[in-house]
Structure formats: structure tokens, C-alpha cells
Structure 1
Amino acid sequence: MENKNFTPVEQSFLNDLSKNSKTNIPYIAVDNFPNLGMLTALRFLEWAAENPNGVISLPTGKTPEYFIYWTKHILENWENENIIELRKKHHLSANQKPSLAELHFVQIDEFYPIKSSQANSFYHYVNKYYIEGLGLKRENALLINCDEIPLAHGKSFEEVFPSHKVDLELRYREAQNPLEKLQKESIFLIDNWCSEYEQKIRKLGGIGFFLGGIGPDGHIAFNIKGSDPYSTTRLTSTNFETQAVAAGDLGGIEISRERLVITIGLETITYNKDAVAIIFAAGEAKAPMIKNALELPPSNLYPASVLSSLPNGRFYITLGAASTLNDFIADYYQSGNWSQEKTDKSVMMLTQKLNKYAEHLTLEDLQSDPYTQLIPDLNEDSVQSVITSIESKIKKGTEALTHEIFYHTGPHHDDISLGLLPYIHYQSRNETNESHYSVLTSGFTAVTNKFLTEILMATLLFTEKGEIEMLNYPDFFEVGYKNKKDKDVYHYLINIASENADERSRAVSHRMVRNIVELWNLKTKQDLEEKIIEVIAIINSSYDGQNPEQKIQTLKGMIREYEEELVWAHFGVRTKNVHHLRLGFYTGAIFTEKPKRERDVYPILQQLKTINPTVISLAFDPEGSGPDTHYKVLQAIAAAVKEWSKEKDLSQLKIWGYRNVWYQFNAADVTHIFPVSLNAMSTMDESFTNSYLSQVNASFPSYRYNGKFSHLSIQTWVEQLQAAQLILGKPYFYDNESPRLRATHGLLFFKEMNVEEFLQSARELEQSTEGVF
């Protein structure tokens, strides 16, 4: 692909990978999520300077975080010396600061129905971050306000669709009652509104600058997999993958499963053939969708492939999102020095491509493959080096460790368990080892209003019946509520063994009583009961997905903290070894704050000094490919380790990077492979099911699996074993002298680093976030 297709700003970000791309749509790959936002912001400002009256359509959600940040930051500091240098470096050659005031804005999509006043509506997002945030004119905006879309007889959507459920089958079947008749008439009115919205966009000449993310099924806007490339603005349903992603916005999959959407169509995006249309994506989880859209022929199965019809269609992606592109793979093998990792990865990829065990690969197979043929001194013994490499990682993974102090960290509750539990359980059997578990955020967003209400109602009932006996202790409301938290945990777990559901519920209520008394500083049983009734009323009056007030946030987080204590108590860990940091950057806002030194780094540093670990484990996301909390926590840990290294020699400290349900390692990238037995899988699943009460029904599931996260982790371990079996052969496991290896039915991967290696992996992201620390 020739450079002339790229603008000056784009050329400043080009690397050889992008320059020599052979994909159907040009792309630019950058190092990380913040740099992705910078590139997109600079390209947008470059376009806006040339098209001050143009038509723009910008996305909602978390992906635009750094696009919005950099756009505002550059405009607000246009003449600042650093921004002048930034503009020069990236060839933003506008003679004067671009004005966005006369741009026309088109809202891409919206849930239907949803009140425009709700903070989780896209209408609210667009007004806050684009109309007000970027200084656009409200009168120049085409917006999707569900409150203003006309319905039959002038009624509101709450009257027409009282359950917020819209049955699109009414387009095609007869109404069965007066309400359905009203709904059917209203659906056709919504359809008409959508057609008028489309015509308004076309009257403006179509969208001139489109920026969108890409969904887990490859959707752009809400044009899900299978959408017609000639589709226009419409009311439509979604699929599970899209509903799973939307669950976080709407308060649970139970709600997003029933909610329809209004979306512009694929032809809406491509109507203006001169349009600059950009899809941006970060992280390895998006890599399969990116590969399909860029390398396969345009198809309804890959909605983003429609950009191939636009001369100015582009993909801006991180290296992780580019990781499965043929360009990227070829560059990986052809550039730099050859390594054992490259040998391992190329042979593993060949076994999967041919579905052939490594021992059966011929020299001709190796010589015919574009990547294995690059192995230095390629011969019949080259495959053996891969077998030896994987075997050595398994041997390292099964080594028994002694006299270690483990500091296991997780961005959210359940991250540690999903990522490392079988290995942690294995090493914790040696009583010379000491383990600490630290969850760095409160995780309250994972607790639905419905779940909290159910627990509060049960707690109120136990209280009224006099079954929370500790309330009668004379010092309970002064100091007693702080004591015996281990008893709440034991009370719950002993009644798992006895299968007494009522007593388990009472154990949860004991902890809830302690939490409520602590949060609101209550002094009597009557105060407690009144407060529970008040909190239930507040929750019932809020909309699904609403960010609750601070103390209710904390109460939700305390439920997650209790759940975490239950998990590790399965293995004899006391509550004093389970730490809840509640770092302040985590607020439940659409964009979590950047970590700050005093608020977010020092609490971690203090724990490091107190615990003095020999091993730190963490969710390893240096690029920002998983939930944004993951890489912000990683940065806070990196900063704490860096500070600690100024006071202590950390040359012997080991850092373990793990991954779980959000994205996975390749066996070639890790240092440790741990065999997981059916017993270990069952232990993890049972501890998850028994402990993570708010997560068992998966209100916020992964788009990859409609069920519990524990099952998805097990599925990942099984898939990793299948890949390794192609290298080692199945007999290696079932016919091994070791009982542990004979019992293997899954493999767990993690990567060990020294402090310098870890800090290096985190450093680029730290620098790109400009002054985070």
C-alpha cells in the first residue's frame, strides 16, 4: 500500500507494518490505547480544519476515552509549547486552531426505549462529551432522543411499552389485544422516524467523518454480524455478544437482552463516498474481528468490511489488535533476531494449521511453511526443541516453592481466582509459604440493584425476627460490629457443607448488618431497620444501571469483598490476609480516572513494605486490551514497585503476570505452564459458585460465553491443553509417569518477570498517558 493514501498526520504514525500492508482496508497500528486516542484525535482535528462545516459522527462507550481526552487537551492548550511540539511532530499543519462550533453532529445509535435523562443513555453521553465537551452547537446536531420519538396517540414509551420490551414480530403479525394494537402502530411510527432521520443525514450530504469502535461480533454502530451492507437507520434487535457488552451500561444482561436499539445503517456510513471512516480498536481480544474485517472478502458476516468501499476508510488499531493479521505475523518472524519463542510459536501454529501432531511433522512440512522455514539451521530435530521448550515450562510450573511470601493482586474481585487459583492452591499446601490477596478496586459495578435489594430484604427479615443475635450485645453498635468478621465467613462456609441455604443467607445478613452499621454510623436496631428500608427505597426509585450514591456504592463493594473472603477461606486463608484497597480512581464513571500517586500508588506501596513479598502476581495487560481498570491497576502497581525499588534491593523479586477470561497468552509467550486436573477445575468452579454470589447468574457475562466466568476459565484451560497436546502428543499426559500429569485436563499459563522486565513492559503506557504519575 502506497504512502500517498495517508494524510500527513497518519504518515507521522506509520511504521513498516502499516506502510506495507496488503489488507483490503488500510490500517495504522500503534503501541497502546492512549496513543490510539492521540492518533485519532489528531486525525480528527486535521479533518476538522479542512472541513469546518462538515458532518461528523462519533462513538460512545469506553473506547473513545483518550480520543476525547486528546481532542480537548490539544484544543485547550493549542499554543502551549508541548502541544506546539506535538503538532509539529505529527504534522498537524493547521494554520490556526480548528473550530468545531459549526460542525454538524450525527448520533450513531441508542438503546430503545431509554429515557434521555438517564446517564447511561447514549443521548446523555453525546451531550456531555461531544456537544458540551467539544463545544458543538446543539442546533447543528441530529440526536436520538427516545422521549421525543412520536408514538401512537401521542403517548410516551412508558405507556406504550410498560415493560420496556418491544416485540418486533408485531410488524408481521396481528395484534392480540388493545395494548398490542397500540404497540404495533407505534412500531411503525418509530420506523417512519428512523427513515426521516436517514433522510436528514443524506440531506446534509452524508457523514463526512465517521469514527466507530468494533464489537465482539464485528459490529459497527449496532450493525451486528449479518447486517445488510445497504442497511439504513432502523429499529432492530441485537445478538448475545452485543447484549453482553451492553449489560454493563444497562444494569445486567437481563435488561440488555430485552432492549432494542436504533442505529444508523452500514449504507448510512458509506453514503458519502468521500467520507473519512475510521474504526479504532485496542487489544488482543479484538484481534479476530480485525482480521476478519481487513483480510477476508467483504461480507455481511463482517460488518466493518463495508469500509473497503470507501477510499478514505481506515482502521486505527493497537499492536495487540493487529496481532493475528498476516502482516503482523510476517513482520514478527522476519524482523529482529530469531528466538526460541519464535520457533515455539511457528511450530505450534503449523501444527494447528495442519491439525497434525508435532512428532508427525516432516522436514518438507517445515520447509513449506512461510514461518517455520525461517528457523535457523532447520532440520528434523528442530521440532524437538519446541517439545523440549514446552516440557521445560511444565516442569517449571510444577516445581514446589518453599518459604515464599505471595502478594496476589487483582483489579476486580474474582480476577485472581479465575487467573491462578489451581496454581495458588498447589503452592499454598506448603505451609512454609505465606499468601496475601489484595483486590485493588471496590468492584461495586458488578453488583446489580436487584441483587442488593434481595440481600437487604433478607437482612431486614432476619433482623425483624430477632435472628441477628449480635444486635443484642451491649457494645455492638460501638465496637462489636467490627469484630469477628471471620465468624461471618465460617458461618457461611460451614453451611455449604450442611447444605443449609437459610443459614447461609443469615451469614450474609450478619456481614451486611456490620457493613451498614459501619457505613452509616448507626446506634440502634431501629436505626438499622430504618436505614435498610431507606436504601431499598432509593434503589427501587433508581433506573437500571444508574450509578448509586457513594455509600451505596461502598455497600455494593463490601458485598464483593465478603465474596472474596469466602473464596480464600475455602483454603484456610483468614480475612486479615485478604486486603481491600478500594483505590480511588475507580468510581463507576464511564471513564475511570487516571491513577494518582498519593491516592492510588501509596496504598499499594504501603502494603508492599508491610507484607514484604517475594512474589507479586498481577493481571498482565500492558497494552490496555482488557477492561480499562486492568491496565490502570497495572500502572499503579508498577509505580509502587518502582518506588519500593528506591528503598530495597528487588533483584530477587518475582512478578507473575496472569490472564483470565478477557484475553489469553500463547504458550510460547509464557514461562510457566501448570497442569490443571478435573479435581482442580471442580474446586475452582465450586469455590466460585459458592462464594461469588453476585456473579453466579452472570448478569455481566463475557461475550464469549453465556454463563459463569468459572466455566469460561475452565474452557480456556482446556483449549490451552489442546494446543499443547499437538506439540507433546496425548500420550505425554495420559501415559506419563507422574500422576499429576496423567490427571491433566487443562493447562494454566503465566509469565514470570523480574522487576526490570515488568517495569519495562509498563513504561511505554506510563509515558503515553502524560503525567499520570
Structure 2
Amino acid sequence: MARLNLLEETRYEKLPVTVCPNPAAGAVAVAKRIASLIKSKQANGEKAVLGLATGVTPIAVYTELIRLHKDEGLSFKNVITFNLDEYYPMRPDAPQSYVRFMNENLFDHIDIDRANIHIPDGTLPEDKIAGFCINYEKQIEDLGGLDLQILGIGRTGHIGFNEPGSAPNSGTRLVTLDDLTRTDAARDFGGKGAVPTKAITMGVGTIFKAREIILMAWSKKKATIIKKAVEGELSGEVPATYLQLSDNVEFILDEPAASELTRFDTPWLVKDCNWDNELKKKAVIWLSNTVNKPILKLIDEDYNTHGMAHLATEQGPVYQINIDIFNQIQHTITGWPGGKPGADDSQRPERAQPDKKRVLIFSPHPDDDVISMGGTFIRLVDQGHDVHVAYQTSGNTAVWDDDVLRYMEFAIDFNSSIGDDNSKLKGIHSDMRRFFETKHPNQIDTPEVRDVKGFIRKSEAIAGARFAGLQDDHIHFMALPFYETGKVTKNSVSQVDVQMTIDLLKQVKPQQIFAAGDFADPHGTHIVCFNIILAALAELKKTEDWVKDCWLWMYRGAWFEFATHEIEMAVPLSPQEVIRKRLAIFKHQSQKDPAVFPGEDAREFWVRAEDRNRETAESYDKLGFAEYAAMEAFKRYFY
């Protein structure tokens, strides 16, 4: 019976999927499979032939393999490896090289014979590549093929660098990279312009010949493409769908990556559900959008024909369900994000007391505050709350080099105008120009350059916060040490980061905190900053009574918004407030026209913010609520 239930739940899935609670558990499971293969081959005196992948996804697997080698004696003497791909052209010692990646993340730490390592050569003359690719395939075939191939998946659905349009029988070859793939790689190269346009990759056909294939995916960012790969139709536009044709493939996912699969996203379509309030709210909103009716117009037939008959029978009548969910959503809407003084707050998202709250807005980057919650920020100030803003990082990696020269030249001219000696400034300016002329992609800036970039971001943040109405003594710059590496890869969080946050919280003693809860941030800074706040609050909770009455609200950044069923406070913005928010964002001139790291979305941040806020308002309107120009959304976090 259990087996039948599982088959029913996964009936939309066209290949085997294993879901792990988190990336660490998934990585351990994959490493265990690899170790078992290696040991089995060793016992038979055979070589284990592995196909390996690069990128963020397999790093934790390699870390666990290194641990197994060092702590449990796993030997790699009998292992032969073939990597999936390499950028072209690419020097093996370049920071972005997959040769360097594999050495740093695996090969330098195990006992593998270097002669058994194979990685596509990014230094070949282009007329030699075809011959190299033929030989790469022959080497694999002469060894009897790959025993196990591990894969990640790109947001275009590529496996290896087999981009949309790749043939299912394709072999190792030189390919042109999709624009989205290059955009995703931009941060590693210090800008999209420095990302190679080509790569050498194993083909889909080569991957298919492996006796076992494991595709891994971690994080919510991969959820949409995973759904297409697992449940979608076969399509050259999503090369990973070809894996549906293999009898030897398994997808190993963490829960966020699996979250859009039918059994998790809309489970009522595949099984009878335990209808708690959260799932009921999600289902009714989904039904309203699916049948294109306001919530209060949904009828029994809508429920019965869309997998929700069980809910109607268990908790009906349907109209009462509709009213219940409608009222819950109605109560999320408030023009008083700090609470409405003197009002009955039993049906409001925030407390009425105290009338005037101490509010602390944490902004991971120097512009997240105004981009993500600029309208609410201004509203809180206008309504008389004691608002502070804290910029957790300097954001100094996200400034164009030519802006540095422009600001330096301004400083030199200003110094001249007041009669100060400019010799030192001119010398630094000359050093900077020479550095920029020979700077490699993603090369760490000099300390002076990093300082100027940080000053640029700081001055813009001050301008934005002042525009929102803050006095200078309510604007805090933390420059948390974990961020200050001068490169994309950041340091691990230390107690220093946490203690700095503790100190600020003790200084302000807020009754209300706003923090970035956008964990899909492709740069990872948001979740790191959020976890630092949680660690600080956990420490303070032991000794500080005020923490018990401090509410933590999450806002989303420039990447995604909360789903409608997740929103617990929706703050409407008038057309005039939308303009005020836009002007606050405009104070961040270094992040416009375009930003250094815009992510996959080509729109400027102010456009994204306005579109997202308008779409949130429209989502409420479609459900049958009042029509607003825009809305900013928040979700409370209980710590």
C-alpha cells in the first residue's frame, strides 16, 4: 500500500528523485555512493572511472570524499577521472579554470595518480580541439566507459555545457555558451564581459553511456528548472530532460530544489492531504488563480474538479472556507507597518503598542533597504517611529573601476580648489590607473581601490537614508569582516561578525527588526547576514529582556518576492509613495546603468522593485481585494 501511495505521489515525475533535507545530507549520500563504487572496484582489482563536475553544487561532495580519505582511509589510487567541461580559452592556472577548481577542491587533498586525471584543455589552438575531443571520447571508451557520472544543472537546463539545442547523441565538442549561462558566471569573472563565450564539454551522448548518472541540485534557485527536467516534456530547449530516457539516472535534491515538484508544490493533485491552515491557504489561492475567480466566487465544482474535493468534504461548506481564507489575507493588509496606535490589533499583523517603536532595518548591501522596502522605510519614518538602518557590508566589490577614477579626480580637483597639496592623491590616482590597465578578471583590488569603492557605496547609502528621513546618528555602517575579502569568495562568519551585531542591537534595543529574507540571492550575502542576526539574537535572548518583545520581519531583496500565501504583512503604496521609493533608489548611482552584478535579470533594480511591488498588488486584486498601485510584502520570523 505504501508503495502504491508513493507511485501516486510521484506520478508526474518521469525519472527517480531522492529528496534530502539539506545539501549536506545530499552530499554525504552521493559521496557514500562514490566511495562504495571505489571500494567495490578495488576489491576486484579494477579501476573506477568517474565523470566529475564543477561548480558550487559538487563542492560538498568533494569535501566529504576528502574527509573519507583522511579519516577513513579511502584510497583513490585505482580511480580515473574525466571532467565534464572547461571554459575556452582558459589557462589552467586562472582563478576560473576548472583545472584549478578540481585541484583546490579535491585532487590536492587525495592520493589520486595525476596521470589518471583528465580535464578538457582550454589552451589548445582552435584547430586542434576537434582531434582532442575525439581522443577524449576514445580514452573513455578504451576504459570501458564511465562507471559513474555526477552532474549539476544550470538554469538553462544544461548538463555539462550542453546548452539548449544540444542533440541527445552529441559527443565531446566545442560549444557556444548561452547568454544566461554567461550571466550566471559573471560574478566569478568580475563582469559578464570577461566570461568566455565558448567551452569544451562532454556531450549528452557521452554522459548517457555512463553506467550510473547522479544529478544533484541544491537551493530554491534550481527549483523551476528541476521541475522542467523531472516533469516536463522531452525538449532540446531543456537538455536535462533527455535524462528521462536513461534507465540509470537518479536526481538527488535538497528540499528547496524539489519544492516545485507537484508532490510538494500542489500535493492535493496527487494525494489526500493533511489540511493544516498553511496548506489550505496556499491551495485556495492556487485554486483562485487557476480558475481565474476571486476567492469569494469559488464554488464546489471548482474544488471538486481541481483535486480539492477532500478539503471541501472535510472542512466545508466551500463558502465558509472561502470566507475564512479571504479574511486571513485581508488581515495582512496594513498601512501601519509599525502598528496602528490606539487600534484593535487582534486582526492586524503588528502590535499597536508601543505607539512609537524603535525600528532597526538591516540591509545586507548598501541599497537593499530602499530597493526592497523603501516605501515601508519611508512610511515608518513618516509615522514617527524611531527608525535606524544598519548596512551590514560595504558592498565594495560591486562598483565599476572607472567610478573609482572619477571620484579620485573629483577629490584632486576639490583639494586644488582649497589650496591643499595634491601630490599624494595624484600618486595614488596614477597607481590606480596602472593597476586597472593590467587588472585580470576578478583580480583582488588594491586596498586603496577597495576603500574608494566602499566610500562610494557609503555616500550613496547615506543619501538614500537621509532621503527616507533619517538623521545621520541613526545610520550605521557595520562593514562585517566576513565580507571584506576584496573578492567574490567571502570568509567564514566569525564571532566578530556576531559580536558587532550584538553590540548594535544592544545600542538600539529595537522592538521591531526588518531583515533581508531573500535566500535566493545568487551571491549568498543575504542568508549569511540573516544568520548572523539570528546568532546575535540567540545570544541576547539569554540575558536581555527586551529581546522577548522584539519582532523580526523578513523582506525580500531584488530577486524574488514571497508567494502570496506566505505574506503576513502587505504594505500598500500610493503612486506618490512609489515615486518617493524610486528616488531613494536613485541615490545609489553606482548601481545603475547597469550594476556590476545585476544577476540574471537585465532590468535595473528600481524597475525590478516597481514591477515586483505592482505584481504583488495585482495578485491581491485578482483574489478579490482592493486595488492598490503597489505593495511591499513581509513575513514574520519566529526566533
Instruction: Give TM-score scaled by structure 2 length.
Output: 0.88
Contact 1:442–1:582 under 8 Å retained in 2: yes
Structure having greater relative contact order (Cα 8 Å, sep ≥ 6): 1
Kindly report which structure 2 residues correspond to 1:328-477, keeping only aligned pairs within 5 A, or say none. Answer: 328-329=264-265, 331=267, 338-371=275-308, 373-375=310-312, 376-395=315-334, 399-400=339-340, 402-431=355-384, 433-447=385-399, 451-452=400-401, 454-463=402-411, 465=413, 469=417, 472=420
Match of 2:490 in 1: 592
In structure 2, which of residues 610, 618, 622 is the aligned counterpart of residue 714 of structure 1?
610
In structure 2, which of residues 464, 476, 498 is the aligned counterpart of residue 567 of structure 1?
464
Match of 1:54 in 2: 48
Give distance in 2, aligned partners of 1:195 and 1:687: 57
In structure 2, which of residues 406, 409, 422 is the aligned counterpart of residue 525 of structure 1?
422
Change in CA separation of 1:463 and 1:415 when aligned onto 2, cut-off 3 Å? closer
Displacement of 1:616: 1.4
- Further displaced range: 66-75 or 406-415: 66-75
Give distance in 2, aligned partners of 1:55 and 1:338: 48
- Further displaced range: 603-612 or 555-564: 555-564
Displacement of 1:2: 9.7
Percent identity, aligned pairs only? 23
Matching residue's letter, 1:210: Q
Matching residue's letter, 2:389: Y
In structure 1, which of residues 310, 313, 318 is the aligned counterpart of residue 246 of structure 2?
310
Give distance in 2, aligned partners of 1:17 and 1:75: 36
Change in CA separation of 1:693 and 1:304 when aligned onto 2, cut-off 3 Å? same
Give distance in 2, aligned partners of 1:350 and 1:548: 52
Are 1:666 and 2:542 matched, yes or no?
A: no
Matching residue's letter, 1:371: M
Displacement of 1:338: 2.7
Q: 1:648-689: per-residue Cα shift (whole Å, max 9, x none)?
A: 122211000111233331121121012234433333333323
Give distance in 2, aligned partners of 1:146 and 1:416: 42
Change in CA separation of 1:663 and 1:66 when aligned onto 2, cut-off 3 Å? farther
Q: 1:507-565: per-residue Cα shift (whole Å, max 9, x none)?
A: xxxxxxxxxxxxxxxxx631221122112222322212223355544443333233322
Contact 1:347–1:372 under 8 Å retained in 2: no
Kindly report which structure 2 residues correspond to 1:51-130, keeping only aligned pairs within 5 A, or say none. Answer: 51=41, 53-78=47-72, 97-130=73-106
Displacement of 1:294: 0.6
Give distance in 1, aligned partners of 2:586 and 2:176: 31
Contact 2:369–2:377 under 8 Å retained in 1: no
Contact 1:348–1:726 under 8 Å retained in 2: no
Change in CA separation of 1:576 and 1:100 when aligned onto 2, cut-off 3 Å? farther
Q: Number of aligned residue pairs: give it.
A: 614
Q: 1:77-114: per-residue Cα shift (whole Å, max 9, x none)?
A: 33xxxxxxxxxxxxxxxxxx321233222222222223
Are 1:21 and 2:2 matched, yes or no?
A: no
Are 1:681 and 2:578 matched, yes or no?
A: yes
Displacement of 1:644: 0.6
Give distance in 2, aligned partners of 1:345 and 1:207: 44
Matching residue's letter, 2:403: I
Match of 1:235 in 2: 174
Q: 1:36-74: per-residue Cα shift (whole Å, max 9, x none)?
A: 333333333233333452222333233334333333234
Contact 2:296–2:319 under 8 Å retained in 1: no
Displacement of 1:751: 0.7
What SS does the aligned partner of 2:554 have? strand
Give distance in 2, aligned partners of 1:685 and 1:205: 61
What SS does the aligned partner of 1:293 have? helix
Displacement of 1:19: 11
Are 1:725 and 2:608 matched, yes or no?
A: no
Displacement of 1:440: 2.0
Matching residue's letter, 2:289: Q
Give distance in 1, aligned partners of 2:541 and 2:220: 31
Change in CA separation of 1:138 and 1:576 when aligned onto 2, cut-off 3 Å? farther
Give distance in 1, aligned partners of 2:2 and 2:52: 28
Give distance in 1, aligned partners of 2:448 and 2:62: 30
Contact 1:346–1:372 under 8 Å retained in 2: no
What SS does the aligned partner of 2:166 have? coil
Change in CA separation of 1:460 and 1:637 when aligned onto 2, cut-off 3 Å? closer
Change in CA separation of 1:99 and 1:528 when aligned onto 2, cut-off 3 Å? same
Q: 1:206-232: per-residue Cα shift (whole Å, max 9, x none)?
A: 333222222222222222233222222
Change in CA separation of 1:459 and 1:372 when aligned onto 2, cut-off 3 Å? same
Change in CA separation of 1:459 and 1:394 when aligned onto 2, cut-off 3 Å? closer
Contact 2:66–2:106 under 8 Å retained in 1: no
Kindly report which structure 2 residues correspond to 1:86-235, keeping only aligned pairs within 5 A, or say none. Answer: 97-147=73-123, 149=124, 151=125, 186=126, 188-235=127-174
Displacement of 1:408: 1.2
Contact 2:408–2:429 under 8 Å retained in 1: yes
Match of 2:527 in 1: 631
Contact 2:51–2:149 under 8 Å retained in 1: yes
Change in CA separation of 1:525 and 1:247 when aligned onto 2, cut-off 3 Å? same
In structure 2, which of residues 500, 505, 512 is the aligned counterpart of residue 615 of structure 1?
512
Match of 1:270 in 2: 208
Give distance in 2, aligned partners of 1:466 and 1:414: 27
Give distance in 1, aligned partners of 2:142 and 2:2: 34
Displacement of 1:363: 1.5
Give distance in 1, aligned partners of 2:475 and 2:28: 39
Contact 2:362–2:513 under 8 Å retained in 1: yes
Contact 2:521–2:557 under 8 Å retained in 1: no
Give distance in 1, aligned partners of 2:412 and 2:192: 33
Are 1:282 and 2:218 matched, yes or no?
A: yes
What SS does the aligned partner of 2:596 have? coil
Instruction: Give TM-score scaled by structure 1 length.
Output: 0.73
Match of 2:636 in 1: 752
Matching residue's letter, 2:379: Y
Give distance in 2, aligned partners of 1:463 and 1:653: 43
Give distance in 2, aligned partners of 1:412 and 1:335: 44
Change in CA separation of 1:29 and 1:714 when aligned onto 2, cut-off 3 Å? farther
Displacement of 1:318: 1.9
Contact 1:397–1:673 under 8 Å retained in 2: no
Matching residue's letter, 1:202: E
Q: 1:592-641: per-residue Cα shift (whole Å, max 9, x none)?
A: 343222x221111111111111111112257x775433222222211100
Contact 1:17–1:327 under 8 Å retained in 2: no
Displacement of 1:471: 6.9
Displacement of 1:270: 1.1
Are 1:556 and 2:453 matched, yes or no?
A: yes
Query: Alignment RMSD, CA only?
Result: 2.9
Are 1:253 and 2:253 matched, yes or no?
A: no
Contact 1:110–1:144 under 8 Å retained in 2: yes
Change in CA separation of 1:224 and 1:613 when aligned onto 2, cut-off 3 Å? same
What SS does the aligned partner of 2:548 have? coil
- Further displaced range: 557-566 or 458-467: 458-467
Note the residue ranges of structure 2 that are not aligned, 5 or more in a row.
Answer: 342-354
Match of 2:351 in 1: none
Displacement of 1:27: 1.5
